Amino acid sequence: MKNTFQLSLLFILLIQPPLLFAHAVITSHSLKIAPLRPARQEKVELTFNSQIELGLSQIFLVHKGDKHELLHAVKGRQQGHIIVDIPPLKTGHYAIRFRIFAADGHLTEDVIHFTVEALPSDTKAKDSNSNSSRF
């Protein structure tokens, strides 16, 4: 009986190592696809390879001068998917710093650097609006 239990336990450990030893690793984020535009409330999507304990996790916006601002985030529709609210930003360099707890209790910390730039279409629209107000 004891040998059967030990063999069963060994079998379970060998079959499911990703569940037992997983860390939450970021697999993709929306900043790769769509850059943030200035002066707009935005959302950034983060996708991790495992389930996240959002209540124990922290996500910060890092401003110039290493100023950290805690951001609000909600779970997405899929496992490991998080949607982060980003306040309106000026053009410049920023980072998203996160401390994410995986469902298995492992902590992952990382930083994503990004730049907020006005798109050419934004500057044209701004120029045309300022020209029309002159007349």
> Can you tell me the distance from the alpha carbon of 43 to that of 83, in angstroms, rounded to the nearest whole number?
6
Q: Is 45 exposed, middle or buried (0-12, 13-18, 19+ CB in 10 A)?
A: middle
Residue 80 Rama label (left phi>0; alpha psi -120 to 50; beta):
left
Can you give the pLDDT at residue 133?
A: 44
Which CATH number among 2.70.98.40, 2.102.10.10, 3.40.630.30, 2.60.40.1220 corresponds to the domain 23-119? 2.60.40.1220
> Can you tell me the distance from the alpha carbon of 133 to that of 88, in angstroms, rounded to the nearest whole number?
25
| Per-residue tens of pLDDT for the chain, all 135 residues | 666 766 565 555 555 544 444 588 999 999 999 999 999 999 999 999 999 999 999 999 999 999 999 999 999 999 999 999 999 999 999 999 999 999 888 999 999 999 999 877 765 555 545 544 433
Can you give the pLDDT at residue 20?
A: 46
The reported pTM is: 0.72
Sequence ranges of the domains in the chain? 23-119
